[in-house]
């Protein structure tokens, strides 16, 4: 699959406080890649007891980045910090594998809109 939709940046929340200080956090970029938007379904399923419901607002495929995990955030543009007006997505599922078409290493990210 050709990754030609655009460039995305993945951020992770990191602690920035002094030892023993009040908790303070910032968002540090951990990955940047070309991406391709993937198809996804928003059909509601029948919820059952003891099952987590996950909402998916977007799915993208990027070059493999095994350091991307759940709770990281994604901005669908090239940037070094999170822009104020950007739509921010939270990673709710990260699949690291290979592309069925060409066996290249990829990461598929299921995303949910987040207010961070």
% residues pLDDT > 70 (the chain)? 89
Cα separation of 62 and 2, whole Å? 10
Please write the tens of the pLDDT for every residue from 32-84.
Answer: 999 999 987 766 666 677 666 678 899 999 999 999 999 999 999 999 999 99
- Look at residue 49 and tell me if it is in a domain: no
In a domain, 69, yes or no: yes
What average pLDDT does the structure give for the chain? 89
Give the DSSP H or E segment for 70. Answer: none
CATH number at residue 30: 2.40.10.270
User: Looking at the 3D structure of the chain, how many domains does it have?
Assistant: 1
89 is in which domain, residue-wise? 6-40+54-114
Task: Locate the DSSP E strands across the chain.
Answer: 6-15, 25-37, 58-63, 73-75, 88-98, 105-114
Residue 45 lies in a domain: no
Euclidean distance between CA atoms 73 and 20, whole angstroms: 27
This prediction has a pTM of 0.84
């Amino acid at each position: 699959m050709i990754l030609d939709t655009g460039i995305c940046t993945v951020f992770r929340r990191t602690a920035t406080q002094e030892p023993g200080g009040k908790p303070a956090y910032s968002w540090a970029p951990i990955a940047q890649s070309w991406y391709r938007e993937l198809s996804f379904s928003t059909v509601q399923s029948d919820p059952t007891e003891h099952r987590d419901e996950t909402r998916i607002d977007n799915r993208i495929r990027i070059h493999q980045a095994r350091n991307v995990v759940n709770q990281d955030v994604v901005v669908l543009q090239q940037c070094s910090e999170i822009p104020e007006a950007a739509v921010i997505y939270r990673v709710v599922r990260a699949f690291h594998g290979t592309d069925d078409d060409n066996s290249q290493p990829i990461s598929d990210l299921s995303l949910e809109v987040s207010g961070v």
